[in-house]
Amino acid sequence: MLRRLIRSGSPLEVEIGFSRAVRVGSHIFIAGTAPIADGGGVAAPGDVYGQTRRCLEIVAEPLSEAGATLDHVARTRMMLVDISHWREAARAHGEFFQNVRPACTFVEVGRFIDPGWLIEIEVDAVIT
């Protein structure tokens, strides 16, 4: 089955040995997506809702490059450093996926690479 790597251009992709996204057949797997601001740095510091929106905006880019849209998303994994803020993340998720309604999981993690990140999101999509 054809395997297509989608890159972001980050030097960490080579260092770590990962791809921004991978498309295998009709399936697309997007790596953990952090709330990176345009031009670098952390988007919406201290704001789970704003960071979630930014992560989902970023996710749309590799989906598009792989030939998909947010409508093709089948699963999201929402990782938060403080699970008590899950409703803020859920509100943003609902704005993007109200009609798509992918399988969704919220989990709490200890921390992320950047201490300013409050959420990171993984996405799986299927083109039918």
What is the tens place of the pLDDT at every residue in 24-59? 999 999 999 999 999 999 999 999 999 999 999 999
Task: Output the average pLDDT for the chain.
Answer: 96
* Domain 3-126, architecture per CATH: 2-Layer Sandwich (3.30)
Burial 92-118 (b: 16+ CB within 10 A, else e): bbeebbeeeebebebeeeeebeeeebb
Q: What is the percent of the chain with per-residue pLDDT over 90, rounded to a whole number?
A: 91
12 pLDDT tier (thresholds 50, 70, 90): confident
Look at residue 120 in the predicted model and tell me its pLDDT: 98
- In the predicted model, is pLDDT for residue 1 greater than 80? no
pLDDT classification of 10: cutoffs 50, 70, 90: confident
Rounded to whole angstroms, the Cα distance separating 110 from 91 reads: 22
Grade residue 109 by pLDDT with cuts at 50, 70 and 90. very high
The whole-angstrom separation of Cα 118 and Cα 112 is: 8
Spans of all domains in the chain: 3-126
Task: Give the pLDDT band (50/70/90) at residue 63.
Answer: very high
The strand pairing partners of 106, in sequence order, are 78
pLDDT attached to residue 8: 86
pLDDT value at residue 30: 98
Rounded to an integer, the average pLDDT of 99-114 is 97
